Amino acid sequence: MAKTWKTEPAESLRVGADVRLADIDPGSTPGFDGDKKYGRQALESGAEQLSELQEKLFADSRAGGGKSVLLVLQAMDTAGKGGIVRHVVGAVDPQGVAHHAFKRPTEEELAHDFLWRVRNQLPDAGMIGVFDRSHYEDVLIGRVRSLVAPEVIESRYDDINAFEAEVAASGTTIVKVMLHISSDEQKARLGERLERPDKFWKYNPGDVDERLVWNDYQEAYEIALRKTSTEVAPWFVVPADKKWFARVAVQRLLIGALRGLDLGWPAADFDIETEKVRLATS
Amino acid sequence: MAKTWKTEPAESLRVGADVRLADIDPGSTPGFDGDKKYGRQALESGAEQLSELQEKLFADSRAGGGKSVLLVLQAMDTAGKGGIVRHVVGAVDPQGVAHHAFKRPTEEELAHDFLWRVRNQLPDAGMIGVFDRSHYEDVLIGRVRSLVAPEVIESRYDDINAFEAEVAASGTTIVKVMLHISSDEQKARLGERLERPDKFWKYNPGDVDERLVWNDYQEAYEIALRKTSTEVAPWFVVPADKKWFARVAVQRLLIGALRGLDLGWPAADFDIETEKVRLATS
């Protein structure tokens, strides 16, 4: 892996208050020393690492540990959120994954604060939580489509930062990923869905409506990235025109987050020799 | 696959009102024509089938379909529930799986009817739900440990049958699996957990306490199997001393359940040519 990653994605893909999306090439593969073939190899060997690290996280929780990891995925349609879940998260034992796709809010959800439904889906200790869309929709489509007053949108960034600081303090490592796709690549991917009968169900005419305000979304993303990339909950912009790169990069971010927890296997909380005797005579 | 399965597990492993657990060899591999090596090959090719079938189920739900599948896993400790989840269910896109492990009931859960917490975890349309333990604990440990009065236990079988009939009628295909392990094999597996520091966290001294009432559990299982194996929610007893067999058998049961739904890809609910034009000009 040292050979494939010249620079860790945790460094090279991290963005801050000065991020400019237009300066990040969606077709680039920053930090990765290799092409698609090496990317696939890295994904395969990373799958085992990720799976073992998650098992340690799970074991730690059984021994009383309170740690968890939360992957937040945001992107324009077709950018590959689903592929990340299937090909990266899919390598982890389903018992250790809490996946939640946030849809258009229900009446009940709208009757609460915008973070209410998000709190309800936070991962338990030992789990990797995955948010497919998230509270960020409330400052993305919320902003682009003027779903609430501008001053409400403005107040939400602070609300989000306070919320995420609290979540992080409670033991959850937050990894926020924006999959960064180009408009041309999106057009190609939507076009493919219109050609294949096994993909029709993934096509939604509304996706074209959203394309028509592409620049507004880019602006809304940029504002959100600038205002909410914090020390405890940083944003990573992952170039996503190359699916293989986006997958191996997000996998590497997760591996890094889990390694950062520095977990070993929990010690036995029983007397091993006593138990051997009990078992033998049972 | 026709070569490996002489008889479908849906036939050969299905039990009814006359089942006798003592007559089913936990080390057997009924219906499967091959050894471990063929079992692994079958598991691999089955993984792709299962994954595609689940995607069709998911697509169907997006097009308004209300169908889902529920796998109920019950077993003595170490019988391999976790391995089924990891190696069989793990082949399915995490977006299409709703896994829930039922633990000792909380105070809130105990304050409700025993089926209350189970209803809350039923799979949404398009999903494969997995119950790692279930409402059956309430007639297994509930019976063996006399957690409630005998007449309450007796009434629960009817409650369960009525509940499952309702769930099935709502569009959920129910597959109930008891992993059938021998006492000797359990002893060997628990012993392994006491030898490996990476397995200590899986060992619980309480497991030996349960071994001491092994026969009571076998009896409680047998009664439950006899009383609740119905047309709409049949029980399958899967010999589980050979892990490879249990996995490939449960996989085959799931594949059969999904095939039984006879789903194709949903038709486009939009005009394809119109959308091609809209996309091209977007």
Closest CA to B227 of B217, B216, B235: B235
Say yes or no for a CB contact (<8 Å) between B211 and A282. Answer: yes
- Does residue A132 belong to the interface with chain B, where contact is any CB pair within 8 Å? yes
Question: Exposure pattern of A171-205 as b/e (b: 16+ CB <10 Å)?
Answer: ebbbbbbbbbbbeebbbebbeebbeeeebbbbbbe
Q: What pLDDT was estimated at residue B4?
A: 84
Report d(CA A112, CA B196) in Å as an integer. Answer: 48
Q: What is the mean pLDDT of residues A205-222?
A: 96
Residue B94 Cα distances to A40, A235, A251, B84, B247, angstroms? 20, 23, 15, 15, 18
DSSP B257: H
Q: How far is CA B249 from the centre of its chain?
A: 11
Chain A contact set for B202 (CB, 8 A): 59
User: Looking at the complex, does the CB of residue A267 fall below 8 Å from at least one CB of chain B?
Assistant: yes
Q: CB of B36 within 8 Å of any CB in chain A?
A: no
Nearest 10 degrees: CA dihedral of B236, B242, B246, B248? -140
Please list the alpha-helical segments (H only) found in chain A. Answer: 9-12, 36-62, 81-87, 107-110, 116-119, 141-144, 150-169, 183-193, 205-211, 214-228, 243-259, 272-280
How does pLDDT run across A64-98, given as a tens digit for each residue?
999 999 999 999 999 999 999 999 999 999 999 99
Q: How confident is the model at residue A4 (pLDDT cuts 50, 70, 90)?
A: confident
Q: Do B275 and A191 touch (CB under 8 A)?
A: no
Of B202, B212, B279, the CB nearest to A208: B279
Contact B282 A212 (CB under 8 A): yes
pLDDT of residue B3: 65
Checking phi first, is residue B163 left (phi over 0); if not, alpha (psi -120 to 50) or beta? Answer: alpha
List all residues of chain A from 212 to 231 with a beta carbon under 8 Å from chain B: 212
pLDDT digits (tens, 9 = 90+) for A13-69: 999 999 999 999 999 999 998 999 999 999 999 999 999 999 999 999 999 999 999
Instruction: Share the mean pLDDT of chain A.
Output: 96
Flag whether pLDDT at A269 surpasses 90: yes
Ranges under pLDDT 50 in chain B: 1-2
Strand A68-75 and strand A128-132: pairing? parallel
Over its C-alpha atoms, chain A yields an Rg (Å, rounded) of 20
Residue of A nearest to B264 (CA): A198
Per-residue pLDDT tens over the stretch A116-133: 999 999 999 999 999 999
